[in-house]
Amino acid sequence: MSLSMKTKAFAMALSLGLVAGCSSTGDTGETGDAYGSDVSAVDQQGGTVYGGAEDAGISAGGLTDAERDRARAAAEQAAEEAKRAITTFYFDFDTSEIKPAARDVLIAHAAFLAANPGQQVRLEGHADERGTKEYNLALGERRANAVQRFLIVNGANRGQIETVSYGEEKPAVMGTDDSSWAQNRRVELIFK
CA 43 – CA 34 distance, rounded (Å): 19
Across the chain, mean pLDDT equals 81
Main-chain dihedrals φ then ψ at residue 94, nearest 5 degrees: 55, 35
CA 144 – CA 123 distance, rounded (Å): 6
CA 101 – CA 120 distance, rounded (Å): 24
Half-sphere exposure of residue 11: CA atoms within 13 angstroms, side-chain side: 6
Q: Are strands 161-167 and 121-126 parallel, antiparallel or unpaired?
A: parallel
For the stretch 61-82, pLDDT in tens is: 677 888 888 888 888 888 878 8
Q: Which of 98, 87, 91, 116 is nearest to 188 (CA)?
A: 87
Q: Which of 81, 163, 160 is nearest to 118 (CA)?
A: 160
Q: Which of 151, 135, 133 is nearest to 187 (CA)?
A: 151
pLDDT confidence of residue 64: 86
Main-chain dihedrals φ then ψ at residue 27, nearest 5 degrees: -70, 130
For the stretch 77-98, pLDDT in tens is: 888 788 788 999 999 999 999 9
Q: Are strands 186-191 and 121-126 parallel, antiparallel or unpaired?
A: antiparallel
Main-chain dihedrals φ then ψ at residue 88, nearest 5 degrees: -120, 130
Q: Which of 9-13, 123-127, 141-145 has the lowest mean pLDDT?
A: 9-13
Superfamily of domain 85-191 in CATH is OmpA-like domain (3.30.1330.60)
Name the strand (E) or helix (H) holding 188. Answer: strand 186-191
DSSP per-residue codes, 30-64: TT--TT-----PPPTTS-BSS-SSTTSS-BSTT--
Answer yes or no: is pLDDT of 31 > 80. no
CA 149 – CA 97 distance, rounded (Å): 11
CA 81 – CA 191 distance, rounded (Å): 14
Rounded to an integer, what is the distance from CA 159 to the centroid of its chain? Answer: 31
pLDDT confidence of residue 189: 96
Name the strand (E) or helix (H) holding 187. Answer: strand 186-191
